[in-house]
Chain A
């Protein structure tokens, strides 16, 4: 069910939510969080769709805060969706214009679901994440540096401004790689890793974060090499006495794992979609210590090199 509320107030939106809940009953069940999406008009639809998908695992009240033009009179347009079109969730899309665009936090406050954690997500560019008014409301703040104009610069900024609860979808995209590398070290021969090279696109924040993580954890020299933009994470090579462990994904889909004295193993390393990464982000609500370590401690230890 989709209800449009043009030129409205938060009071009317709240009333409408209660009314819809009473009409459809089940919608009220099991909200586990409020997800605030801070987004502009161009990205709003894609972001809401990804959130609906992710909310099948984590039913939420989803509030999309869409900023329109800051000029003109303040105005609030809303759309409330529940039922089939909303997956497991209830969705409120708030379009703000005029002076209101500067007061998103005040607009969402009356609409937050009671007694549940608040998560904020910036699908596009984000500034002052933790210290912004929305960021201060949220327990967990999700950004996606890989979508920034200059992902590596954005990563440096995230690093400078890091606060507990910050997390990045570029980090979620490295999870599968991290799992495979960790599993490789679980098995004999048990030898320390003496050097690491991580290769990825010059605009791949996931590559930087993975390199940072390895540097922080393995306490050995880590080189970050560049491949063409758009290729994503391409290659990890961990040197050991008996020979290197190599994880390679030249085409963004199929990977191979190579270890000395063992046959090459093929595997599926398809890049996870936005909804999948968002679902991963939403399954933990505390501070991500491991991310902090990779970003804050690991990243400066990584040596950047030209080419492979």
Chain B
């Protein structure tokens, strides 16, 4: 009996049908820049603990925090422990924590501090020797894009960007990926100067959400939906991301950026791409991205931007039961600011599948409630063999993919109103809720995405080409708006400015109440 062959990519202990076997990341360390920031504390650190608790991080996994604070390893560990206890999804277990805590390190310094980055390099070397991180490291840049250049140059200078031999170095960046096509290219050039394109992971946390991935399952695993997923049956598509909060402390970032750049360019156009794309040959990174790019390249703006776009700025009002101030009164906002906090677009997808089907995208702050969804609204039945009065209450059939909160899918169709005598049809909904059908403990988007970075699995991360294509769609709109002065006002807690409602009314449609 000769032993089973082992080689690169050939592992006798891995089998395609071994569905239980967890994907555990290989030895590595994560270096987190901006570890004192909100995102890191509220989302990233808890997600890393959850991964550790689920046994998906490698033995010897290490996390290095890099920030200006005057902390030592022990203080850092204490801070991480608090954030983990407050934010982790899985229960806090001392054993899991202790193993994670052993690998926590802190490097103090500013981004332009050569000595600090040399210290970081030494810290990583020591971790290789003490904990066996094997020279593998992911640099998570949870910092403003303005600092990317400095940090990347420093990583390069300290020799941290280039891996030795079999090891890898990856960099993780968060939106915004620029504020227009030119700046996106510039930003990309900055990072690509130091890291090769396939080592750059752009995080769009929406793509890590279970429901978004479920959209692919819904469309391509079922026979039921794909046959009607085209212009013969679909009337239009609405993609919504509504927030109830204002800009809450993000004035510095938000003013001058606005809703369209903040949300439409990345999240909503990615959702559009997943909704409208053709079936990829496989769910491999290249195949999936190729289909998304094809459909993004086919997206067109209508000729008259005045009737195809809407924008607004919230004013004081009642957000539910809470009295809130207007955008211009928020701390740190220029009282003459023309930044939009609501944006809506009508887009066309120039493919055979979608000819004539408008895609309406909207996003805003201080809207009626927090909700994100994709609604595919169907045409009415071509002939209704009922009296007119019977179908008065009947709307259009719809499939709604609820991204957050209350993740799930809703199907809306007509049903007979119970009762004697008359035939009367009205809308009912059939509901699949992720919360109840699976996983109270469905993993957080960041857990999935961080693990994918460590495993080197890129399908859920947009490529630079997608970012460029998205800016190509949005840039003309931004230029048009820039010439138009102040955005229209809308009251906080409402569903946006009247121009947004007119945008759909002109087409004989209306926004769903999400």
Which residue of chain A has the shortest Cβ distance to B18 in the bound complex? A290
B121 CB to nearest chain A CB (Å): 19
Query: Is A151's beta carbon under 8 Å from chain B?
Result: no
1/0 contact string of B20-40 vs chain A (CB within 8 Å): 111111110000000000000
- Say yes or no: B440 contacts A57, CB within 8 Å: yes
Which residue of chain B has the shortest Cβ distance to A267 in the bound complex? B59
Q: Which residues of B contact A266 (CB under 8 A)?
A: 59-60, 99, 102
Which residue of chain B has the shortest Cβ distance to A192 in the bound complex? B3
Q: A182-B13, A266-B59 are in contact. Are A188 and B8 (CB under 8 A)?
A: yes
Select one of B11, B15, B166, B433 contacting A290, CB under 8 A: B15
Q: Which residues of A contact B24 (CB under 8 A)?
A: 179-180, 182-183
Question: B interface, how many residues as a size bin?
Answer: 35 or more
Query: Is A300's beta carbon under 8 Å from chain B?
Result: no
Q: Which residues of B contact A176 (CB under 8 A)?
A: 22, 55
In the bound complex, CA of A191 to CA of B7 (Å):
7
- Say yes or no: A193 contacts B1, CB within 8 Å: no
Q: Which residues of B contact A218 (CB under 8 A)?
A: 3-4, 12-13
In the bound complex, CA of A305 to CA of B59 (Å):
30
Q: A58-B438, A193-B4, A280-B20 are in contact. Are A268 and B96 (CB under 8 A)?
A: yes
- Say yes or no: B4 contacts A217, CB within 8 Å: yes
Q: Which residues of A contact B132 (CB under 8 A)?
A: 259, 262-265
A87 CB to nearest chain B CB (Å): 8
Query: Is A194's beta carbon under 8 Å from chain B?
Result: yes
Which residue of chain B has the shortest Cβ distance to A186 in the bound complex? B11
- Say yes or no: A220 contacts B3, CB within 8 Å: yes
Which residue of chain B has the shortest Cβ distance to A247 in the bound complex? B59
B57 CB to nearest chain A CB (Å): 9
In the bound complex, CA of A250 to CA of B456 (Å):
33
In the bound complex, CA of A174 to CA of B278 (Å):
41
Select one of B6, B7, B19, B20 contacting A193, CB under 8 A: B6
- Say yes or no: A265 contacts B8, CB within 8 Å: no
Select one of B11, B93, B131, B436 contacting A26, CB under 8 A: B436
Which residue of chain A has the shortest Cβ distance to B440 in the bound complex? A56
Query: Is B298's beta carbon under 8 Å from chain A?
Result: no
Name B415-463 residues within 8 Å CB distance of A: 431-433, 436-441
In the bound complex, CA of A269 to CA of B6 (Å):
26
Q: A59-B437, A268-B99 are in contact. Are A219 and B55 (CB under 8 A)?
A: no
- With an 8 Å Cβ cutoff, the count of chain A residues facing the other chain is 53
- Say yes or no: B8 contacts A284, CB within 8 Å: no
Q: Which residues of A contact B12 (CB under 8 A)?
A: 185, 217-219
Q: Which residues of A contact B440 (CB under 8 A)?
A: 56-57, 88
B430 CB to nearest chain A CB (Å): 10
Which residue of chain B has the shortest Cβ distance to A280 in the bound complex? B20
In the bound complex, CA of A267 to CA of B60 (Å):
7
Query: Is B5's beta carbon under 8 Å from chain A?
Result: yes
A194 CB to nearest chain B CB (Å): 5
Q: Which residues of A contact B19 (CB under 8 A)?
A: 284
In the bound complex, CA of A185 to CA of B10 (Å):
9
Which residue of chain B has the shortest Cβ distance to A27 in the bound complex? B436
- Say yes or no: A185 contacts B13, CB within 8 Å: yes
1/0 contact string of A230-262 vs chain B (CB within 8 Å): 000000000000000000000001111101001
Q: Could you list 12 A-B pairs, sorted by A, with CB under 8 Å? A: A29-B432, A31-B437, A57-B439, A182-B24, A187-B27, A193-B3, A218-B12, A219-B2, A257-B59, A262-B134, A268-B55, A284-B20
Task: List 18 other contacts, CB 8 Å, given A172-B20, A178-B13, A219-B2.
Answer: A26-B436, A30-B437, A56-B439, A58-B438, A178-B21, A181-B13, A182-B24, A192-B6, A218-B13, A221-B1, A257-B59, A262-B132, A265-B132, A267-B60, A268-B98, A268-B99, A288-B20, A289-B15
Interface residues, chain B, with chain A CB atoms under 8 Å away: 1-8, 10-15, 17-27, 52, 55, 58-60, 93, 95-96, 98-99, 102, 129-132, 134, 166, 431-433, 436-441
